[in-house]
C-alpha cells in the first residue's frame, strides 16, 4: 500500500484566532438562541418531541413542510452545539456551559469569579474554549482563516 503525501497546511489552514473567537461569540449570541427557540427545546433540557395525532389546522401549500424543516435543522444545530461542547476539555466545557447553556446565563465576571481565575487568565481560557468549540462544531465552519 503506497503512502500518500498529505498536505496538512491545505487541510488545516492557519486560522485568525481573534476573528474566529469573535465569530463563535456571534454564533452563541445570535444564531444559537434563535435555534433554541425555533427548535422548541429548552436550553437546559433536551427532550424528545411530543407527537400528537390531533390536527392543528389546514396547511396551505408547503408552509407546514417549511416549518418542520426549520425545526429539524434548528434541533440539529442545538444538538451539534451540545456535542461540540462535550468534545472540549473540562475547563472549556465549564466556561461555555455557564456562559451559553445555563438557564441563568452568567456574565464573564461571574464565570471568572465562580471558577476563581484572574481576569487575564479567564479570558485566555475563554478564548481557548471558543477556539476548541470552533474545531469541534461540524455543521458549519466557524473558523476565520488568514
Domain spans of the chain? 14-47+63-136
Write out the three cell numbers for 31: 444564531
Positive or negative, the CA dihedral 57, 61, 65, 68 is: negative
CA–CA separation, 99 vs 113, rounded Å?
A: 13
CA–CA separation, 113 vs 45, rounded Å?
A: 26
CA–CA separation, 55 vs 125, rounded Å?
A: 50
Per-residue pLDDT of the chain in tens (146 residues, 90 and over written 9): 555 677 777 777 899 999 999 999 999 999 999 999 999 876 655 433 444 444 455 545 578 888 888 899 999 999 999 999 999 999 999 999 999 998 888 999 999 999 999 999 999 999 999 999 999 999 999 999 99
Amino acid at each position: 500500500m503506497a503512502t500518500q503525501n498529505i498536505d496538512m497546511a491545505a487541510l488545516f489552514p492557519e486560522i485568525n484566532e481573534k476573528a474566529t473567537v469573535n465569530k463563535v461569540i456571534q454564533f452563541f449570541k445570535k444564531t444559537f438562541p434563535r435555534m433554541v427557540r425555533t427548535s422548541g427545546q429548552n436550553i437546559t433540557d433536551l427532550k424528545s418531541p411530543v407527537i400528537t395525532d390531533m390536527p392543528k389546522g389546514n396547511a396551505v401549500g408547503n408552509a407546514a413542510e417549511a416549518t418542520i424543516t426549520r425545526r429539524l435543522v434548528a434541533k440539529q444545530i442545538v444538538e451539534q452545539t451540545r456535542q461540540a461542547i462535550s468534545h472540549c476539555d473540562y475547563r472549556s466545557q465549564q466556561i461555555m456551559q455557564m456562559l451559553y447553556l445555563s438557564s441563568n446565563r452568567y456574565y464573564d465576571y461571574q464565570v471568572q469569579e465562580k471558577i476563581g481565575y484572574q481576569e487575564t487568565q479567564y479570558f485566555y481560557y475563554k478564548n481557548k474554549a471558543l477556539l476548541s468549540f470552533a474545531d469541534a462544531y461540524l455543521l458549519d465552519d466557524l473558523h476565520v482563516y488568514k
